[in-house]
Amino acid sequence: MVKRLLLFIIFIFPLSCIDPYNIGIEEGEQLLTVDGFITNDFGPHTIRLTRSDTYGSVFEGLIRPIRRATVSVRDSQGLVTFLTETEPGTYVTPNDFAAKLGLSYTLQIRLSEGQEYTSFPEKINPVAPIDSVSYRSLQLATDNRLEDRVGVQLVAHFKDPSDQSNFYYWRTNPGMFVVVANPELYTLPPTDPTNPRGPAPKDCCATCYLVENSRLQNFTVASDEEFNGLSTRVPITFIEDNGLRFKDTYRAEILQMGISQGAHRFLRLVNQQLNITGSVFDQPPANIRGNMVSLDNPDEVVLGYFIAASVANKSVYIKREDLEFTAIPRIIPDDCQIVPGATLTPPAGWNP
Amino acid sequence: MIKRFIGVISTYVLLFSVFSSCEEKIDVTPSIITEDVLYVSGERLRISGRIITTQNIEASDHGFYISENESFNQPTTISLGERVNPGRFIGEISSLVIDRKYFVKAFVTIQDENIFGNIAEVETLSPSVFNFSPNNGPEGTIVSISGQNLTSDTQVFFGDVKGTVIDISFESILKVRVPPISDQSVVNIKVLIQGKELSLEEPFEYTTGKYSKLADFPSAIRIFDGIYLQEDDVFYIGMGTDRGQTMNNTMWKYQVGDGNWQEISLPSRSLWRPFSSNSYYGGGSLGPTNPVPVTDFYQLKNGQFSAMSDLPFVKSRALAFEISGNLYVVGGVLNGIPSREVFEYAASSGIWKKLRDAPFDINETVLNFTYGGKQYFIDPLNKDLLAFDPIADFWETVSRFPGDLGNGTGVGVVIGDRAYLGLGNRSNEMWELNMTNLNWAEKNKFTGSTVARNSAIYVHGGLIYLVRSAEVQIQGVPSEFWVFDPNGF
User: Measuring CA to CA, which residue among B324, B326, B334, B322 is closest to residue B368?
Assistant: B322
Confidence check: pLDDT of A314 > 70: yes
Residue A31 predicted with pLDDT over 50: yes
Which residues in chain A are contacts of B125 at CB distance < 8 A? 77-78
Residue B381 makes CB contacts below 8 A (sequence gap 6+) with B360
**Hey, are the CB atoms on B90 and A80 less than 8 Å from each other?**
no
3-state secondary structure of B241: strand
> Who contacts B166 (Cβ-Cβ below 8 Å, separation ≥6)?
B142, B175, B176, B177
B40, B124 contact by CB (below 8 A): yes
Long-range contacts of B252-256 (CB under 8 A, 24+ apart): B252/B217, B252/B218, B252/B219, B254/B481, B256/B460, B256/B461, B256/B465
The rounded distance, in Å, linking the Cα atoms of B378 and A131 is: 56
| A200 against B19, higher pLDDT | A200
Domains of chain A, by residue range, sit at 131-258+311-352
CB B268 within 8 A of CB B305: yes
Give yes or no for residue B18 having a pLDDT over 90: no
Q: Cα–Cα distance between B197 and B193 in angstroms, integer?
A: 6
Q: pLDDT category, B365, cuts 50, 70, 90?
A: very high
Question: Among A59-68, B11-20, B224-233, which is the least confidently predicted range?
Answer: B11-20
Residues 6+ apart with CB under 8 A from B211: B444, B446, B447, B448, B482, B483, B484
Q: Considering only CB atoms, which chain A residues are within 8 Å of B36?
A: 120-121
Chain A: closest CA distance from residue B396 (Å): 29
pLDDT at B371: 97
| C-beta atoms of B88 and A298 within 8 A | yes
CA–CA distance, A240 with A250 (Å, rounded to integer): 12
Which of A58-67, B46-55, B264-273 comes out lowest in average pLDDT? Answer: A58-67
**Contact with chain B for residue A74, Cβ under 8 A:** yes
Calpha distance B105→B124 (Å, rounded): 16
Query: Which domains are assigned to chain B?
Result: 31-123 (2.60.40.10), 128-205 (2.60.40.10), 210-485 (2.120.10.80)
Q: Is there a contact between A74 and B170 if contact means CB atoms under 8 Å apart?
A: yes
Q: Compare CB distances from B170 to A80, A293, A298 and report the shortest one's residue.
A: A80
Name the closest residue on chain A to residue B130, using Cα atoms.
A79
Residue of A nearest to B38 (CA): A120
Amino acid of residue A235: P
What's residue A148's pLDDT? Answer: 86
Q: Does A256 have pLDDT greater than 50?
A: yes
- Chain B interface includes A298 (CB < 8 A): yes
Residue B366 near residue B351, CB atoms below 8 Å: no
CA distances from B295 to B272, B292, B308, B338, B470 (A): 12, 10, 10, 18, 30
Mutate to test the interface with A, among B172, B173, B193, B198 (most CBs of A within 10 A): B172
Better pLDDT: A351 or B297: B297
pLDDT, tens only, B381-396: 999 999 999 999 999 9
CA gap A172, A217 in Å, rounded = 10
Per-residue model confidence (pLDDT) at position A10: 74
Q: Which residues of B touch A74 (CB under 8 A)?
A: 39, 170, 172
List chain B residues with CB under 8 Å of A298. Answer: 48, 87-90
Cα–Cα distance for residue pair B421/B438, rounded to 1 Å: 13
- Complex prediction ipTM: 0.73
For residue B21, name the pLDDT band (cuts at 50, 70, 90): low
Q: pLDDT at position A273, please?
A: 87
Q: Quick check: A83 contacting B, CB < 8 Å?
A: no
Within 10 angstroms of residue A244's Cβ, the number of other Cβ atoms is 20
CA dist B345 and B347 (Å) reads 6
Within 10 angstroms of residue B313's Cβ, the number of other Cβ atoms is 18
Mean pLDDT score across all residues of chain B: 93
Question: Does residue A280 surpass a pLDDT of 90?
Answer: no
Q: Which of B85, B89, B148 sits opposite A78 (nearest CB)?
A: B148
Residue A217: pLDDT over 80: no
The answer to whether residue B83 scores a pLDDT higher than 50 is: yes
**Given this model, what pLDDT does residue B478 score?**
92
Q: Which residues pair with A159 in a beta bridge?
A: A231
Neighbours of B231 (CB within 10 A): 15
Residue of B nearest to A301 (CA): B88
| Predicted pLDDT of residue A226 | 85
Average pLDDT over residues B30-48: 92
pLDDT tens string B395-424 = 999 999 999 999 999 999 999 999 999 999
Handedness of CA B102, B108, B112, B115 (dihedral sign): negative
With cut-offs at 50, 70 and 90, classify the pLDDT of residue A275.
Answer: confident
Searching chain A, which residue's CA lies closest to the CA of residue B35? Answer: A120
Band of residue A274 on the pLDDT scale cut at 50, 70, 90: confident
pLDDT-derived band at A279 (thresholds 50, 70, 90) equals: confident
Nearest alpha-carbon partner for A349 in A176, A130, A96: A176
The mean pLDDT value for A194-218 works out to 85
Residue B126 has pLDDT above 70, yes or no: yes
Q: Which of B38, B48, B88 sits opposite A106 (nearest CB)?
A: B38
Among A77, A79, A299, select the one facing B87 at the smallest CB separation: A299
Determine which of A7-21, B335-349, B473-487 has the lowest per-residue pLDDT on average: A7-21
Interface A-B, measured as beta-carbon pairs within 8 A, has a size of 50
Q: Do B38 and A118 count as a contact with CB atoms less than 8 A apart?
A: yes
Q: What is the pLDDT of residues B129-146, one digit of tens each?
A: 999 999 999 999 999 999
Give pLDDT tens digits for A122-149.
Answer: 999 999 999 999 999 999 888 888 788 8
Query: Is residue B5 pLDDT above 90, yes or no?
Result: no
A286 pLDDT exceeds 70?
A: yes
Of B344 and A31, the one with more pLDDT:
B344
The share of chain B scoring above pLDDT 70, in percent, equals 96
Predicted confidence (pLDDT) per residue in A157-205, tens digit: 999 998 889 999 999 888 999 999 999 999 999 998 888 899 999 999 9
Our CA angle for B224, B230, B234, nearest 5°, is 110
Helix (H, G, I), strand (E, B) or coil at A282: coil
Rounded Cα–Cα distance for residues B424 and B403 (Å): 11
Summarize pLDDT for B252-262 with one digit per residue, the tens: 999 999 888 99
Chain B residues within 8 A (CB-CB) of chain A? 36-42, 46, 48, 85, 87-90, 92, 125, 127, 148-149, 170-173
Closest CA to B152 of B65, B38, B41: B41
Confidence of residue B64 (pLDDT cuts 50, 70, 90): very high
pLDDT of residue A55: 59
* Per-residue DSSP letter, B124: P
Alpha carbon distance A260, A266 (integer Å):
10
Q: What is the pLDDT of residue B253?
A: 96
Among A221-235, A267-281, B33-47, B237-251, the range scoring the smallest mean pLDDT is A267-281
Question: Rounded mean pLDDT of A203-231?
Answer: 86
Q: Work out the average pLDDT over B231-242.
A: 96
| Shortest Cα distance, chain A CAs vs residue B127, angstroms | 8
Contact B90/A295, CB-based, under 8 Å? yes
Asked whether the predicted pLDDT for residue A56 surpasses 60, the reply is no
